[in-house]
Amino acid sequence: MAQKRPQPQNRYQLAVDVLQKGREVLLRDLTEEILYHAEDFEEGGFLFQEFLENQGTKLHFLYLMVSQLEQSADAYEATMRRSRMTAKKATRSRKAEFEEPVAACSSDDTDEFPAAEPPAQPRAAARRPRKVRAQSTVPSTKDDSE
């Protein structure tokens, strides 16, 4: 009985999950601070601007990190899917080798194949000749004696 190998964990997604939990805590704390300073923030003064600079920057960088990690997690998952599909195809082809007998090819079978096409002409040969610019008939403003 063949045992299944454990699938490797997507560490990027694990990191996203950790940051999402931290985000929830940060937003809960920010909410409490906003409600505590509601009157000052409604005026839009110095305290409000300072809050936005400090806390907004933290939140912005948190979202940037989460976004990058989510992209990496998606790429990792896509790579794992491709490798699993490649492994399945390889397994199927190995099974097919043993299950289906291969018919021997005789010399009479070659008449059924179309003749090989001649190789394509290189692209360089298909280029058009370059145009040569004609001399201008407008007299030059430069003094010829110089």
C-alpha 110/C-alpha 12 separation (Å) is 54
The pLDDT tens digits of the residues spanning 43-82 come to 888 899 999 999 999 999 999 999 999 999 999 999 988 8
Instruction: Evaluate whether residue 58 is within a structural domain.
Output: yes
| Residue, of 144 and 84, whose pLDDT is higher | 84
pTM above 0.85, yes or no: no
* Mean pLDDT across 20-41: 94
CB atoms within 10 A of CB 83: 10
Instruction: Evaluate whether residue 117 is within a structural domain.
Output: no
Instruction: Evaluate whether residue 27 is within a structural domain.
Output: yes
Res 17 pLDDT > 70: yes
Domain residues for 38? Answer: 11-73
How many domains does the chain divide into?
1
Instruction: Evaluate whether residue 62 is within a structural domain.
Output: yes
C-alpha 125/C-alpha 68 separation (Å) is 47
Instruction: Evaluate whether residue 67 is within a structural domain.
Output: yes
Res 25 pLDDT > 70: yes
Instruction: Evaluate whether residue 140 is within a structural domain.
Output: no
